[in-house]
Amino acid sequence: MTTPAGFDELIHPPTRLGLVALLAATEWAEFSFLKESLELTDSALSKQISTLAEAGYAEVRKEGAGRRRRTLVTLTPKGRTAFDGHVEALRRLVSGAPPAARTGARPPEGP
């Protein structure tokens, strides 16, 4: 299979795709909300967020102090562009349109 343009192997694994899809619909989301929605453990979610942050797709910031401290996660413009491109690539695959060149696709990576 030829990978369509915009297809992003970093985003494609199911768990990470779910995380990025949640973040794409939000300006930012609390860590606890993401954890409950994706039914992940703290460490599993942290790992996914770190992978996205290392790629420059997500940013983490902490607010407040003590009991009111909360961790907020947001998609960066780069992450949002990658997600939009990935969604477009998936739509092209589904609609059966001839795939474009491989340009823009990331090398395959584990979940």
Residue 9 as a binder of another protein (CB under 8 A): the answer is: no
For another protein, the binding residue among 6, 8, 10, 29 (CB under 8 A) is 29
Task: Please tell me what DSSP assigns to residue 109.
Answer: -
Q: Using CB under 8 A, pick the residue from 43, 66, 69, 94 that binds another protein.
A: 94
Q: Going by C-beta distance under 8 Å and a sequence separation of 6 or more, which residues neighbour residue 15?
A: 38, 40, 44, 48, 111
> Which of 66, 77, 96, 110 is the binder for another protein (CB under 8 A)?
96
Tell which residue, 108, 100, 96, 77, has the closest CA to residue 6: 100
Judged by the rule CB under 8 A, the positions of this chain that interact with another protein are: 1, 12, 14, 17-18, 21-22, 24-30, 32-33, 37, 87, 90-91, 93-94, 96
